[in-house]
Amino acid sequence: MKTILYIIQKEFKQIFRNKGMLPIIFVLPLLQLVILSNAATFEVKNIKFGYIDNDHTTTSRALIEKFNASTYFDVLTDFSSEGFAKSAMLKGEIDVVLDIPNYFERDLQKEKHNSLGITINAIDGAAAGVENIYVNEIVQNFNQHLKVDLLPLSNQQIQPINIDTIPLFWYNETLNYKTFMVPGILVLLVSMITLFLSGMNIVREKEIGTLEQINVTPIKKSQFIIGKLFPFWVIGMGLLTVGLLLARLIFNVPMLGSLVLMYLYTSIYILVILGIGLFISNFTDTQQQAMFIAWFFVVIFILMSGLFTPIESMPGWAQMVTEFNPIKYYVEVMRMVMLKGSGFTDILPQLIKTVLYAIVMNGLAVWSYKKTN
């Protein structure tokens, strides 16, 4: 026990003396949290909107006014012909083009229906989909008012019954993107920093040759490993604490669930990450190698964690793969506990899987750590 304590003490001394590493541990993650949470948003805003008005009537102008009034659209240009609109879109100056045909008002009044041309830049398919919905909503809305204006009073009685849907957004009532992202980015920080640091740490001893010296001493494998990894467990928990504080103070993210539960889950989750880190360092000889392998896994784990893209929309085989992704469970748990206020029994499935993962990973890591070649 005394040995472990001394190794832990030594590790902390080394961490705090490493002037290059300190900011990476404590400053970069927080910058990341602040920057990523603000920037990484899927909300489509400031859509660059252009139109071709071939009609020039009060109705067509009223329609364009509707777009102008929307906060989602920046009405930029009035194109005199389709050709100009096309080239503007090609140059990327414009994302959406509305084409109002000739005699739009006249035909609408005579024939009671008409069509509009909408062209959307769909290089980013997801954004194009959202833009389409916004455009439709505005046109629908315009349509309703138009009916009231155009149809004679007697006809109003036989108007078909409209079904209106008024959605209630539970757990994130205002659809605030940050509320959704902050817990996820917090996960990213805790995972990345602890994995990189633990992966590089034992390799570093290999690189500078101290591991060989240690291996000739009577120190036990378990003592050495616990002593080496415990400081990073502490750092991981520290990062979680600072991250939660920032989430509360800067982003005002609701924390409905119990903090104790979050810390309990994180304490086990970090064990998984440290196990992976140790496993990587057993199979590498230099810090570069360890870093690259850690990066490889982190990128895959993060992209397949449901942090940015929903797991439900992945193909079947990919959903199977995510079952083995510890970051996925952590993202789920953090969102559930923070936003939904889930209790212990709700996160029990994730907790059990994580405990199993921790046992398997650390078992493999300890087994593959050899003092003798």
Partner 1 sequence: MGISVNHISKSYKNVKALQDISFDVKPSELFGLIGPDGAGKTTLFRVLTTLLIANEGTATVAGFDVVTDYKKIRSNVGYMPGKFSLYQDLTVEENLHFFATIFGTTIEENYDLIKDIYVQIEPFKNRRAGKLSGGMKQKLALCCALIHKPKVLFLDEPTTGVDPVSRKEFWEMLKRLQQKDITILVSTPYMDEAALCDRIALIQEGQILEIDTPEAIVKHYPKQIYNVRANNMYQLIKSLNDYEYNHSVYPFGEFIHYTDKRKDFNPDQLLVFLKSNQLSNIEITETVATIEDTFMELAK
**What does the binding site for partner 1 look like in residue numbers (CB under 8 A)?**
2-3, 6-7, 10, 13-14, 17-18, 208-210, 212-219, 371-373
Please say whether the beta carbons of 236 and 194 come within 8 A: yes
Shortest distance (Å) from residue 192 CB to partner 1: 24
What is the pairing mode between strands 47-53 and 117-120? unpaired
State phi, psi for 97 to the nearest 5 degrees.
-120, 130
Identify which of residues 141 and 217 has a Cβ nearer to partner 1 in the complex: 217
Name the minimum Å distance from CB 221 to partner 1: 11
Least distance to partner 1, CB of residue 9, Å: 9
As measured in angstroms, the least distance from the Cβ of 324 to partner 1 is 35
Residue 270 is given by DSSP the state: H
**Which residue do the tokens 């067509």 mark?**
60
Q: Which is nearer to partner 1, 160 or 218 (CB)?
A: 218
Between the CA of residue 286 and those of 25, 155, 290, what are the distances in Å? Answer: 20, 81, 6
> Which SS3 state, helix, strand or coil, does residue 74 take?
strand
Nearer to partner 1, 178 or 228 (CB): 228
Instruction: Provide the minimum distance between the beta carbon of 13 and partner 1 in the complex, in angstroms, as a whole number.
Output: 7
Q: What's the rounded Cα separation, in Å, for the pair 219 and 274?
A: 20
Residue with smaller CB distance to partner 1, 30 or 219: 219
Regarding beta strands 96-100 and 73-78, do their DSSP bridges make them parallel or antiparallel, or are they unpaired?
unpaired
Q: State the Cα–Cα distance between residues 53 and 43, nearest whole angstrom.
A: 28
> Would you say 340 or 371 has its CB closer to partner 1?
371
Least distance CB 224 / partner 1 (angstroms): 8
Closer CB to partner 1, 158 or 216, in the complex: 216
Residue 290 CA, distance from chain mean position? 25
Instruction: CB nearer to partner 1: give 121 or 223.
Output: 223
Beta carbon nearer to partner 1, 17 or 91: 17
CB of 347 to partner 1, least distance (A): 40
Smallest separation, CB 22 to partner 1 (Å): 12
Please report which residue ranges of the chain form alpha helices under DSSP H: 2-17, 21-26, 28-39, 58-69, 82-91, 104-111, 125-150, 177-208, 210-215, 221-249, 259-282, 287-303, 316-322, 326-335, 348-368
CB under 8 Å, gap of 24 or more: what pairs does 349-353 form? 350/265, 351/265, 351/268, 353/329
